[in-house]
Amino acid sequence: MVEKFIKFIEKSQYKDLYLQIVRDIYVDNLSQYDIKPLVWKKWFFRLRVWKIRFIYKKTLKWNRIVDVDNRWDIYKWL
């Protein structure tokens, strides 16, 4: 089953940029991005690029992308 955020990225005209951001999240290379923790969810973070939000969960060993969507739609899953 394909994740919802992969379909979102594939349809976007900025696909290459978003895929680079996904790679950076997985390898924890996040110093150049605007990142804030989600107050209501422990170990969840929000990465902002223009009007797109990447929500990911951080653990000691890895980062897992939970969702990618527009800024008004991203927080509905929570």
Residue carrying structure tokens 């527009």: 70
Q: Where are the beta strands (DSSP E) in the chain?
A: 34-37, 44-49, 52-58, 63-70
pLDDT, one tens digit per residue, over 27-71 is: 989 999 999 999 988 999 999 998 999 999 998 888 999 888 888
Question: Do the beta carbons of residue 52 and residue 69 sit within 8 Å?
Answer: yes
Q: Which CATH number covers residue 13?
A: 3.30.2310.20
**66 and 44 in contact (C-beta within 8 Å)?**
yes
Q: Which domain holds residue 60?
A: 4-77
Question: Model's pTM, two decimal places?
Answer: 0.84
Number of domains in the chain: 1
Per-residue pLDDT of 4-27, as tens digits, reads 788 888 888 999 999 999 999 999
pLDDT-derived band of residue 1, with 50, 70 and 90 as boundaries?
Answer: very low
Distance (Å) of CA 40 to CA 17, 43, 59 = 28, 10, 17
